[in-house]
Amino acid sequence: MTDLSELAAALHLPTEPVRAPMFIDGKDFAGASDWVTRKSPGHGMPVTATLRASKGDLDLAVAAARRAFDDGRWSGLPGEQRAAVLLKVAQLIRDNVETLAYLETLESGKPIGQSRGEVTAAAGIWEYAAGLARVVHGDSHDTLGPDMFGLVVRQPVGVVGIVTPWNFPFFILSERLPFALTAGCTVVVKPAELTSTTTLRLAALLTEAGLPDGVVNVVTGLGSVVGQALAEHMDVDMISFTGSTPVGRSVLAAAGGNMKKVGLELGGKNPQIVFADADLDDAADAIAFGIAFNAGQCCVSGSRLVVHRSVEQELVERVQAVLAKVRVGDPLDASNHVGAIVEARQFDKIRGFIDAGTRDGAQLVCGGTASSEGERFFIQPTVFRNVQPGSALAQEEIFGPVLAVTTFDTFEQAIQLANGVPYGLAASIWTRDLQGAFKSLRDVQAGRIWVNCTITGGPELPIGGVKQSGIGRETGRYGVEEYTELKSVHVQLGNRPRWIA
C-alpha cells in the first residue's frame, strides 16, 4: 500500500483497507477478535478495517485503566506535567492534520475541508484543556471558628468510559478526553464502529506525547455489546456517552449497577427562531449552513425554522437561494460543501422522514432528491414549509439535511413552539432587538443558545443539554469539573470539645 500520508496528500482512495488494531495498556491489541471492513459512504469502496471486540477484550482495557489510576502514574503527577503532555498531543495533532482529516473523511463521508477544520479545532481544545490542568482547585472555609478549618478538595473521579458517535468522531472525543485527562482520570474509549480509525490513530499520538501506558485505552466494536458492557462495568467510575436519546436511556439504566457518574449528550430538535426585525440575509445563510453542515448529521443542527409569519415567505426564498448554490458530492473534492450520508440505514431513515413530510401535507420547497447508486449515499438539502408543530418533521430528530418551517405571530407563540419538543440541546435566535434577544435566551429551554449566529464557539464555554437532550456539561472549566468528585474535609486545630466532660 502507498504510504498513508502520501494518500492523504494526494486525496486518493487506498488500494486496500487501512487496518487499525485496538489499543490497550500502551500497545496495539488484536486478541481473537474479527476484523470488520468499513466502506466509504462517499465512494462505496472498502477503506478501513477495525476489530469487533468481545467483552473479554473490554475487561482487559478496564483492568489496564484501573491499574493506571490506582498506582497514580497519571493522577499523581503535578498539573504542570499533565499539561505538558496534553500540549504535546495538541502539537502532534497539528502535525498530522492531513492524515487524520483524510481518514475522517473516508469513514464519515464529510467533506475534506470540514474534516481539516475539525481536526485543527480539536488541537485547540487540547491546548485549552492543558491550561486547565494547572488551575483545577477546590475551596477553603475559614469561617468555622478558631479551632476548625474547612477544605473542599476536588479529585479525579477514577476510571472513565467514553462512548463517542460517528458524526464527529475526532472532534467530539476531543471535547471529552483531554478534560478527563486534565482532571487526572484514566479512560477507556469506545468509538462508533463506523468511524473508529481516527480515535485509534490518536491513541498512538498520546503514547508518542508521553502519556503513560494504560491511561487511555481504545476498544472497538458494536455499541450494543462493548458500549453496553462499558456502561455496566462495575470497575468503571463514570460513563460519558454521546449519541441518541433512546440509547442514552439504556446507558443511564446500565450505569445504575454501581451508581457510576453519568454524562450524556443526546438528541436535539433545535430551533432557529427568526423575529420580524432580523437581518434576513444573515439568517438565511446561517440557516442553510445549520441544516446542511455535515449533511445535517449534527446534534445541534438547526433543523426547525420558527419564523414570524410576516417574513416567512421572504426568508424561505432566501434560504432556498443559498441552498441552490450548495454543492453535494465526493467528500474528497474540496469544492463540495456537503458530503455523504454515513450509511444505508441513516440514508433510508432520512428518506422516510422526507416521504412522511409529503404525506403529512407539508409543502416541499426544495431538495428531497437522493441517490444511493454504488453504495454512495447523497441527499440534497431539503426544506418543507407549513409543517405542523405536532408532526414527525417538527418533533423527531431526523439527523439529516431536512429543514421544517413553522410560523408564529407573537413572541409567546415563538417560545411555545421552540420549547414544544422533548429536546433542549441548542437554539439560535435572530433579532436586532437586544431586549427581545435577552428575553428569548432566558425563556428558550436549551443548553446552548446562539444569538444572531449558529453552530459556533470554542472550548471556553460548556456544552450540553436539558430535558431529553442530556445530563451534565462538557468543555470549559465545567468540563473538567464533570470528571472530578468533591471531598469535604474538616480539620480540628484545637482540642475537640468533649462529649462527656
**Domains in the chain, start-ordered, CATH in brackets?**
4-266+469-487 (3.40.605.10), 271-451 (3.40.309.10)
The average confidence (pLDDT) of the chain is: 97
Beta bridge partners of 405: 305
Ranges assigned E (strand) in 72-147: 139-141
Q: Which long-range contacts (CB under 8 A, 24 or more apart) does 248-252 make?
A: 248/470, 251/163, 251/227, 252/471
Within a 10 A sphere around the Cβ of 284, how many other Cβ atoms? 24
Distance CA 314, CA 491 (A): 67
pLDDT band of 68, cuts 50, 70, 90: very high
C-alpha cell belonging to residue 100: 487524520
Whether residue 151 has pLDDT greater than 70:
yes
Residue 167 corresponds to which amino acid? N
pLDDT score at 2? 62
CA distances from 337 to 63, 196, 235, 288 (A): 44, 24, 44, 11
Whether residue 148 has pLDDT greater than 70:
yes
Whether residue 501 has pLDDT greater than 90:
no
232 φ, ψ to 5°?
-85, -15
The predicted model gives 135-161 an average pLDDT of: 96
CA distances from 463 to 21, 278, 421, 458, 459 (A): 31, 26, 19, 10, 9
pLDDT band of 94, cuts 50, 70, 90: very high
H or E element in which residue 407 lies: strand 402-408
446 contacts: CB under 8 Å, gap ≥ 6: 270, 424, 425, 426, 427, 465, 466, 469
pLDDT score at 106? 98
Distance CA 483, CA 151 (A): 19
- Edge-to-edge strands, sheet with 484-492: 139-141, 148-156, 484-492
Beta bridge partners of 55: none
Asked which of 32-41, 44-53, 421-430 is least confident by mean pLDDT, the reply is 32-41
The share of the chain scoring above pLDDT 70, in percent, equals 100
Distance CA 293, CA 6 (A): 28
Task: Kindly report, residue by residue over 437-475, the tens digit of the pLDDT.
Answer: 999 999 999 999 999 999 999 999 999 999 999 999 999
The share of the chain scoring above pLDDT 90, in percent, equals 98
Residue 362 corresponds to which amino acid? A
Query: Where are the alpha helices (H) located in 184-341, listed in sequence order?
Result: 197-208, 228-232, 245-254, 280-292, 312-323
175 contacts: CB under 8 Å, gap ≥ 6: 125, 459, 463, 474, 475, 479
Residues labelled catalytic: 265
pLDDT band of 31, cuts 50, 70, 90: confident
Task: Kindly report, residue by residue over 248-293, the tens digit of the pLDDT.
Answer: 999 999 999 999 999 999 999 999 999 999 999 999 999 999 999 9
pLDDT score at 33? 78
Provide the sign of the torsion angle of the four alpha carbons 23, 24, 29, 31, taken in this order.
negative
Distance CA 171, CA 100 (A): 11
